Amino acid sequence: MTYQEFLKNFLDKGYSVETFSEKGPEPEGKLYLRHDVDFSIDFAYEMAAVETAMGVNATYFIRVDAPTYNIFSKTENRKLNWMQENGHIIGLHYVPEEFIKEGFSIKISFDLLSSAFHFPISKMFTVHQPLKRAEWKALSEYVKAEHSYLDVNISYYDNFPYFADSRGSFRFGSPLDSEVFFFKKSLHLNIHPIWWAGTSPFAEFTSRHGTNRLKHQIIQNIYRDLKENYNVSI
């Protein structure tokens, strides 16, 4: 199943696809669609292009410390700007390890992401790895106390059923097979672009093709950087 076919199921069912805004979610007929971009801006851009062609917008949560992409590179920054110009929302995908270990300020990550663009990023953010309850409480209290301009209440949407393709599969069942979908109840859906990036853009839902494309893309990006910045051809 392609990503377009997957998403079309929700549209055919009568769902309204929503970004994560500051307004509270509604109990019926809303698909709150988000993408945690762990590995590739290129894959996120391809996914956003599919959504744009379908008249749909989503919220893309971006890392500032990703080992496989650079939000300040010309090519990737241009793609993120295109996504925002076409109605998609950009927010922070935060890695809390440093906060947990050393009280590292989330403000640094937020300011870095903001500095990369000429448009405001979302006040909401997502956390890269699941936190224990005590860790999430500590992070929430820290943000509320020190950075009230951020909205830690992404968890507010967890009042609704949550589905994610983390690690390359819907481990707790596909949303399309759920009672939530059958009765058209609102839901929170987290789709990771890498798992849908097949041999051609979003050809199928498979982890193998996405990771193979990622390896090839990393090599291409290195070659491009060498050529553009160091006048080196390989």
Residue 233 main-chain phi, psi, to 5 deg:
-110, 140
DSSP string across 43-79? HHHHHHHHHHHTT---EEEE-SS-SS--TTSHHHHHH
| Rounded-to-integer distance, Cα 6 and Cα 176, Å | 8
Domain extents for the chain? 3-14+28-163+180-230
Question: Which residues neighbour 84 within 8 Å (Cβ) at sequence distance 6 or greater?
Answer: 90, 117, 119
Reported as a single tens digit per residue, the pLDDT across 173-225 is 899 999 999 999 999 899 999 888 764 444 444 555 556 666 566 556 655 66
Check the CA dihedral 196-202-204-206 and report its sign: negative
Check the CA dihedral 24-28-30-31 and report its sign: positive
* Domain 3-14+28-163+180-230 bears CATH identifier 3.20.20: yes
pTM of the model: 0.81
Reported as a single tens digit per residue, the pLDDT across 123-165 is 787 877 666 666 666 666 666 655 554 555 455 555 678 898 8
Angle between the N-to-C axes of helices 133-146 and 106-115, in degrees from 0 to 180, rounded to the nearest 10:
60
